[in-house]
């Protein structure tokens, strides 16, 4: 009888360990892990805190128009991703501090690389993008510059990476 209880206890502990391990591996789907997987860090990161302390940086939103219209960081300029046109920035000083961002920092890295390839020298990628911005309780505005709690979550998968705000998928 004691052997049966011992065997049952071992099975229970093993089952518990499997559950904990499974939950831990799913919990690893974070912005940090996603950036490690998809980015090569070719564009230096700037943190939310560093951006907030930064003066006169040009902020470029590299998401799609529908994402930008739902919400964006105040004073950001929409440049897009699929239809990004480097010529739209021809009047900018190539040494000016430029911060690119998207949902978490994957698409913005691509745009940052394009900027560097034509001579922009002071380009940074917002670490964690607008999702990290929202998750650290920073304000965003909609297409009419009105403060909003909405955040375009890009897709059902990516929506798991943002924990605050009213998620929009469209």
The predicted-structure confidence for 37-64, as pLDDT tens digits, reads as follows 999 999 999 999 999 999 899 999 999 9
Cβ–Cβ contacts within 10 Å for residue 51, how many? 20
Distance CA 80, CA 9 (A): 57
The predicted-structure confidence for 133-170, as pLDDT tens digits, reads as follows 999 999 999 999 999 999 999 999 899 999 999 999 98
The predicted-structure confidence for 100-122, as pLDDT tens digits, reads as follows 999 999 999 999 999 999 999 99
Question: Range with the lowest mean pLDDT among 18-32, 67-81, 137-151?
Answer: 18-32
168 is an active site residue: no
Question: What contacts 59, CB < 8 A, 6 or more positions away?
Answer: 51, 73, 75, 76, 77, 99, 101
Tokens of residue 79, six digits = 């440049």
CA distances, 79 to each of 26, 45, 97, 107, 166 (Å): 33, 19, 16, 12, 24
From the list 102, 111, 126, 140, the catalytic residue is 102
pTM over 0.95: no
Question: What contacts 9, CB < 8 A, 6 or more positions away?
Answer: none
Distance CA 96, CA 90 (A): 12
């Amino acid at each position: 009888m004691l052997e049966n209880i011992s065997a049952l206890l071992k099975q229970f502990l093993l089952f518990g360990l499997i559950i904990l391990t499974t939950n831990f591996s799913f919990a690893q789907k974070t912005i940090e892990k996603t950036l490690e997987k998809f980015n090569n860090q070719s564009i230096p990161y700037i943190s939310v805190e560093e951006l907030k302390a930064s003066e006169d940086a040009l902020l470029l939103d590299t998401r799609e128009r529908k994402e930008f219209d739902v919400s964006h960081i105040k004073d950001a300029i929409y440049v897009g991703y699929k239809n990004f046109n480097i010529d739209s920035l021809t009047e900018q000083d190539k040494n000016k501090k430029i911060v690119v961002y998207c949902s978490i920092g994957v698409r913005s890295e691509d745009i940052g690389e394009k900027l560097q390839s034509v001579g922009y020298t002071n380009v940074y990628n917002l670490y964690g993008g607008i999702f990290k911005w929202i998750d650290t309780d920073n304000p965003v505005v909609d297409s009419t510059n009105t403060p909003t709690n909405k955040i375009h979550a890009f897709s059902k998968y990516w929506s798991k990476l943002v924990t605050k705000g009213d998620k929009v998928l469209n």
